[in-house]
Amino acid sequence: MSGLRELLARFRLNELAIMIPLLVLVVGVWSFVEIAGEVVEGETQRFDHWAITIMRNPEDPSDPIGPPWLEEMGRDLTALGGVIVITLAIAAVCGFLLLENRQRTALFVLAASIGGLLLSTLLKEMFQRERPDLVPHLSNVYTHSFPSGHSMISAAVYLTMGALLARTVKDPATRIYCVAVAALVTGLVGLSRVYLGVHYPTDVLAGWAAGGSWAVICWLVAAYLQKRGAVEQPSDAVV
């Protein structure tokens, strides 16, 4: 009898572990579609303009609110979503996984990260939204505005790596830590883009939604591959 209860409990746990990511995926995709639709129709313009100008000195739009060190910190944080730093992070994580003899997981991290970068580029070319011109930019920009590439790539790469790293360890607290750190970095990168005047807040929100959705997809694929034995997994993996 106790064996049956244990089996049912494990089934419910496995089912929950799949349903929650699927729910997050649906919410993420729906959020991106809604934001994109509002942006295309011009419904977010008033909010976007307010959010950017509120972060600048009314008497000098080139001066962001806060002390000088806050502006410097914004530049440092935004660099965490740049191509060079992201590439170094991917290389570092893949190197760690290789040292841990998880070659197939390292390959999956690399493929998932490249996929996120390509998706961000594709979406930018689809919408081709112009950058904000309300205040001087405090960071150099070269591409279109929607969705925020830094925000989306940070979510896609950091959350994907955090989730996949969480699946390689056994301790639940360590798993939560991996995902929490990835989410924190992703959030700070997005906020820095608005603070520096190079993105509208809806660009950032859409980037988070799209990048987070990509991370969930990668997590689900990783779970499936781990069940199939195509990707390494810890001995006590939940799914």
Active-site residue set:
150, 199
- What whole-number distance in Å separates Cα of residue 33 and Cα of residue 30? 5
Query: H helices of 160-200, where?
Result: 160-166, 172-195
8-state DSSP, 158? I
CA 17 to chain CA centroid, Å, is 20
Would you tell me the crossing angle of helices 2-40 and 103-127 to the nearest 10 degrees?
A: 30
Strand partners, 57: 60
Tokens of 8: 């049912």
CB 207 within 8 A of CB 155: yes
Q: Which helix (H) or strand (E) holds 63?
A: strand 60-64
Label residue 113 left, alpha or beta by phi (over 0 means left) and psi (-120 to 50 means alpha). Answer: alpha
Which residues are within 8 A (CB) of 174 and not within 5 positions of it... i.e. 6 or more apart? 166
CA dist 145 and 40 (Å) reads 12
Cα 6 to Cα 15: distance, rounded to the nearest angstrom: 14
